[in-house]
Amino acid sequence: MDSLTQLGLNNPELFKELSKLATPTGVADYTALALLAGAGATYLSRGIIWDQPDPYAHLAYERPQLKNGGALGSTNKETRNIAQKLEEAGKNIVVFWGSQSGTAEGFAQRLAREISLRHGQETMTADLSDYDSETISQIPESKLAIFIVSTYGEGDPSDNTAEFWDWINKAQNVSLSNLRYAAFGLGNSNYKFYNRVVDVVVEGLEKFGAKALMPVGKANDAEGATEEDFMAWKDDLFTVFKEKLGFEECEVKYMPTLVVQEDESLEPIDLHHGEPDNRRDSKAAAQCTPVRTLNIANSRELFNASDRNCLHMDLDLSSQPEFTYKTGDHLAIWPGNPTSEVERLFEVLGPSVRPHVPLGIKSLDPATKVKIPTPTSAAAVFRYYLEICAPVNRDNVLGLAQFAPTPEAKAYLLQLGQDKDYYANFINRTHLNIGRLLQLACPGKAWSDLPLSYLVETLPHIQPRYYSISSSSVISPRKPSITAIVSSSPLPENPDELIHGVTSNYLLAISQQSRSQPHPHGITYHLNGPSDALQDGKVFAHIRRSRFKLPITSKNPLIMVAAGTGLAPFRAFISERRQLQQIGKEIGQMVLFFGCRNPEEDFIYRDELEELQNALGDRLRVVTAFSRKQGTPRQYVQDRIVEFGQDIVKLLDESANFYVCGRAGMAREVEKAVGETMKQVKGWSDGQVNDWSKAIKKKNKWQEDVWG
């Protein structure tokens, strides 16, 4: 049976009757049909006759900062071929940098600038992640490549070096026979794999046939010698330039690579007032969230000491629904500089630098990127974009001499910058940041000839400070916490003068403000932030993914070793294991070794740990070490590891994961203690211990989150 039959519409009489009903018979019917037809035509003509797109609608959403060559406004697609870039920009030398904290990047920029000024060679810097690694093989023999790379953690490359690192380790059938190069590494001998990254890079370059101009240089931050090591290597490099390459040397005079100009036509709405720069071209940016404002939900003091502070802070992700974290990740805080140092700098520069007048910053060299968001103001530059509290290196001391207001000030700076021992002795007595140096060199006199562009080019840019998240994402998914010790260190030869850590004291000021109390050292900050974006206790922050993670299997035993605020991630680990136990999961044995000075003053999270011990029973053992407990000998976590050696070996044999968090020097001593324990308990040789150590790390069963 067909569908018409089913409906009864194959009956001619019925169909005729229905047709009569459907035929309009009056004015009302014709009016209704006209209205329906008009509505249909109107709908179909949408976007053609009416409701056309406004060709200027985008202007309502356009940022003025992106216009007229603004830093964020370039639409030109940059080449990722470094050989092509060198040719297009007319450069003879490229200084590649791989940097985690910004130090290697700063060295690269200083070196490139000095090569250009001293030897007249067209030089550019290059972020290793901005160019395809294989194109290095296309750099002709007529040009030079210099590599300045840092090592951090367990011999790891910086985030922006990761792609190049993979290429140099895995590439095959590559020829670098045309490449002439020099290399300098930044490292810390407190780490087991001191300067491993530059060693591996040089080994790879040599394997592919590259020709070294000179032996590799290395800086050792453990001895506080990074600056002097770099300057000594730089002097050797310039000797090679003169004696082997025949480069002529000329008097160094400042030639700006940036133009910094006032532009009073701009309105406040046009400016960047200090918001962190979210431009991240590197693939490494995938490991970080964007920088956003986060509320500080609450903060509390963890120390019971009158002269030291340690903060616990809970942050609230509610305003950023796309933000998530996992237990073991890091949270980065973007600080502002203290008001006293900002005002000091404006005072010594004099009326030639006006704090709130709009500034445009443009590059004079197409190969040089403007790293500060522009347009902006001098107030924003000094408060949020430059590290004006950092010590001034000898290179910059010498560079500032050419702008001195008086002959006496020039002579003072030349003596300080040229004499290595005199400089070292001086900074042991006086904290030498840019404002203080200018004041000391020429008291009461304005530095009106010092270009703002020089400061923008030579001072390091402010960097975020990373903190291990001390909460579990399982228990507190929207409120990550951080644990921050407040740094206020006395000068070696002048204990009455303190060097205050920028970010930790910035956080302390926020914490004190929430209690309507002043900072204990009287330091003030503009806590409302740029354009009052941080009112009511907010900070600029982002989250960085970490590899410092709990094992997937909750039954895996854990050995955790921490000193001081290194306890932070283990507070999260243990809390998460407790949560798993509460929902019926079987959890493995845990041992926490924790060290601090004195149990009455700086044993952080003591009550929480005791509660967790009571709740977890035999699943958790806490072993403490106190270095300044009255009436007892000094003890450190590595001493307690030796003491509990049999238990540690037993847990390691049961496939325990081993974690260390704290200073690098402590981590190195812990690894030594474990190695000695393995030799004593198992009768192993040094070679067997080394083989075991490599194997356990390769399996990711030994993890470190260390610094310093």
- Give the model confidence (pLDDT) of 390-415 as tens digits: 999 999 999 999 999 999 999 999 99
Q: pTM of the entire structure?
A: 0.84
Do strands 538-544 and 558-563 pair parallel, antiparallel, or not at all (unpaired)?
Answer: unpaired
- Fold (CATH) for 301-336+464-544: Elongation Factor Tu (Ef-tu); domain 3 (2.40.30)
Contacts of 90 (CB under 8 A, 6+ apart): 122
pLDDT digits 0-9 by tens, 467-493: 999 999 999 999 999 999 999 988 888
CB 133 within 8 A of CB 167: yes
pLDDT at 81 over 50: yes
CATH 2.40.30.10 residue ranges of the chain are 301-336+464-544
User: How many angstroms separate the CA atoms of 261 and 441, rounded?
Assistant: 27
Please give the average per-residue pLDDT across 122-127, as a whole number: 95
Q: Higher pLDDT residue, 437 or 707?
A: 437
Residue 702's pLDDT band (cuts 50, 70, 90): very high
Contacts of 131 (CB under 8 A, 6+ apart): 80, 81, 82, 85
pLDDT at 69 over 50: no
Determine which of 65-79, 202-216, 312-326, 551-565 has the lowest per-residue pLDDT on average: 65-79
CATH 3.40.50.360 residue ranges of the chain are 82-245
CA of 35: how far to CAs of 24, 29, 38, 413, in Å?
Answer: 14, 10, 5, 88
| pLDDT above 70 coverage of the chain, percent | 88
pLDDT at 627 over 70: yes
- Kind and range of the H or E element at 581? helix 568-582
What's the gap between Cα 485 and its chain centre?
Answer: 18
Encode 515-547: b = buried (16+ Cβ within 10 Å), e = exposed. eeeebbeebebbbebbeeebeebbbbbbbbebe
CATH 3.40.50.80 residue ranges of the chain are 558-706
pLDDT digits 0-9 by tens, 539-564: 999 999 999 999 999 999 999 999 99
Amino acid letter for position 97: W
Contacts of 164 (CB under 8 A, 6+ apart): 96, 98, 128, 129, 133, 157, 201
CATH class held by domain 558-706: alpha beta
CB 447 within 8 A of CB 418: no
Residue 621's pLDDT band (cuts 50, 70, 90): very high
Helices 434-441 and 407-418: crossing angle, nearest 10°?
A: 130
Longest CA pairwise span in the chain (Å): 118
pLDDT digits 0-9 by tens, 447-470: 999 999 999 999 999 999 999 999
Which residue from 152, 155, 211, 223 is spatially nearest to 183, judged by alpha carbons?
Answer: 211
Residue 285's pLDDT band (cuts 50, 70, 90): low
pLDDT at 68 over 50: no
For domain 82-245, the CATH superfamily is Flavodoxin domain (3.40.50.360)
Which residue from 693, 564, 686 is spatially nearest to 627, judged by alpha carbons?
Answer: 564
Please give the average per-residue pLDDT across 596-602, as a whole number: 95
Cα angle for residues 607, 612, 616 (degrees, 5° grid): 155
Yes or no: domain 258-269+338-458 corresponds to CATH 1.20.990.10: yes
**Secondary structure E strands in 280-390:** 292-301, 310-316, 330-334, 358-363, 376-377
Query: Is the Cα dihedral 530, 533, 534, 536 positive or negative?
Result: positive
Residue 368's pLDDT band (cuts 50, 70, 90): confident
pLDDT at 206 over 80: yes
User: How many angstroms separate the CA atoms of 682 and 224, rounded?
Assistant: 38
Contacts of 498 (CB under 8 A, 6+ apart): 488, 489, 490, 491, 521
- Kind and range of the H or E element at 161? none
CATH 1.20.990.10 residue ranges of the chain are 258-269+338-458
